[in-house]
Amino acid sequence: MPASPPKPSPFASVKHWLRQFASLPEPAEFDYPFARSDIAMLQRLEDGLPQLDSQTWDEMLLDDYHVRLATQTSILGQQRLHQRLASGTAGAASRARIAALLAAPARQAVIEQAMQPLRTADMEVAALLCGAAPPAPPWWSRWLLLPTLALVASLLAAWLFAPLAWAVAVPVWLLLMALQMRFYDRCKPWERSVFTLQRILLVHGRLAALESPFTADLREGGRMAGVINRQITPVRWIKMIPLLSEYDDWLMLGNIRRYFHSLRVVRRERAFLRQSFLLLADLEADLALARHLRARAQFCWVHEADARQLSLDAMVHPLLDGAMPLSLRLDGRGAFISGQNAVGKSTLLRGVGLNLISARAFGFCYAQAARVPLLPLYSSMQNEDSLDGGESLYIAELRRARELLALAEGGAPALFLIDEIFRGTNHLESVAAAAAVLHSLAAQHLVIVSSHNLVLGPLLEDCLAPWCVRRDDAGALQLAPGVLRATNGIALLAQRGFDAGIADKAGRVFDWLSTHMAQPADCGGVLERA
């Protein structure tokens, strides 16, 4: 007697279903161009501890940096990367996963292929899943098919034997039109949100079917993702019937019924959808960072330092191709950076700032080695006058200085990057105000400042170590201890096409000013006197 075939395992059907999920055809590749407000939505909703403000975000060119990080990434990964940059702190789990992905490019490629459908989503859903819950559908939304049936019945009655049935058909038809006009504008964007949710559920199921340690967190909810995906958009049999499909929305309120049905499903399964969204956003952000680092010639994992210590060895600017590596070490004091015009002081500050932000947000720097404090960072680099706001340059600088002092007085350690403070007033008042503000900031926090006012170097030497950006004989950029000795502002007049007479007059005035306003030798304690 032949042996009976073995009974299938209770998990066999689940595994078969997951394999089907993973083998669905690929959608056409398309990266929807989302607005900055959409990309920042998750950050606004999670509202973590502020690590930088909007002015710092703009001055550090973080939109450009975010674009580089988020290449080939859906709105989910873009939102998580933005959130980490703005207020996140690198976690050990994320750092470990990025390192593991770097060591397994083949596995990363398989995961990226499975996540491809996310890039076709054209609506952000962080507000839907992580913000306030959507409103409950009204009680009558379950009976929306009744007006359609009443309309059909009255039309048949009017056509066959009861002309008075038009008295019913017309009001019912007007009711259908009123409902359509009332909810049509709400249904259209909602359909796009549902499409994004479908992409999330589809990818969740695909990743759950993969035997990969990188997707273990998604495996448990793989079957549920498929169930919800089928529930959120039931089969629309009317679309299979010629002619009737054309009138599904206007005569049968198909779009409104689908809206309320999917709204009920989303409200019921919102916790699962939110968890799925966040798991995929985290995974895609880590994939993007691993892909980014794999293309970098140099990076290092960061070691955390005390609030007053910083060490960046052979650091480069992440947005500049072929950037010259520079090293900066601070121990207890901040830095006063001087250098000739156009040598790259502002670029250096942005390079330092971007490295410090990536260290805090992601755990890596663009350097050979890095030991830095993982602190909030605030900058003042691009203050401008405003005709609309009624602010002169100096008033704008004063406003920003007060903002920085208020942040500093909060007590929590922070980093401050400041470029050419108080350009909008005369030299003497500029030096005086700058010295007072910088000395107060540096008393409690790590401050890195660049300025052409070289007298600030000796004035602030008790709290800011002097560093100078210069070029060596071969033209290579160097950052070394000390204050600039030879300025080039007058020399640039001739190099930029000014008349020799202009350069000569400027030189004579400079020589005269230098004898009357020479740097004093005993200014070190001026700011400490009562």
pLDDT mean by block of 10 residues, the chain; 530 residues: 48 48 53 90 85 93 96 96 91 93 95 95 95 92 79 72 69 76 87 95 95 92 93 68 61 82 95 97 97 93 94 95 91 91 87 96 96 95 67 87 90 91 85 91 94 89 91 81 79 78 77 65 63
pLDDT of residue 11: 42
Q: Rounded to an integer, what distance in angstroms lies between the CA atom of residue 93 and that of residue 434?
A: 43
Q: Rounded to an integer, what distance in angstroms lies between the CA atom of residue 278 and that of residue 216?
A: 14
pLDDT of residue 75: 97
Domain 12-138+170-295 sits in CATH at 1.10.1420
pLDDT of residue 387: 60
pLDDT of residue 239: 59
Both tokens of 365, joined, read 């720097």
pLDDT of residue 479: 87
Q: Rounded to an integer, what distance in angstroms lies between the CA atom of residue 440 and that of residue 434?
A: 10
Q: Residue 92: exposed, middle, or buried by beta-carbon count in 10 A (0-12, 13-18, 19+)?
A: exposed
Q: Which amino acid is at 10?
A: P
Q: With H, G, I as helix, E, B as strand and everything else as coil, classify residue 109.
A: helix
The segment(s) of the chain belonging to CATH 1.10.1420 are 12-138+170-295
The segment(s) of the chain belonging to CATH 3.40.50.300 are 300-486
From the candidate CATH numbers 3.40.50.300, 3.40.1190.20, 3.90.870.10, 3.90.550.10, the one assigned to the domain spanning 300-486:
3.40.50.300
Q: Rounded to an integer, what distance in angstroms lies between the CA atom of residue 130 and that of residue 124?
A: 11
pLDDT of residue 14: 46
Q: Rounded to an integer, what distance in angstroms lies between the CA atom of residue 231 and that of residue 315?
A: 52
Q: Cα 35–364–481 angle (5° rounding)?
A: 110
Whole-prediction pTM: 0.86
User: Which residue do the tokens 């959608």 mark?
Assistant: 27
| Residue in 215, 221, 233, 219 with CA at minimum distance from that of residue 273 | 221
pLDDT of residue 530: 45
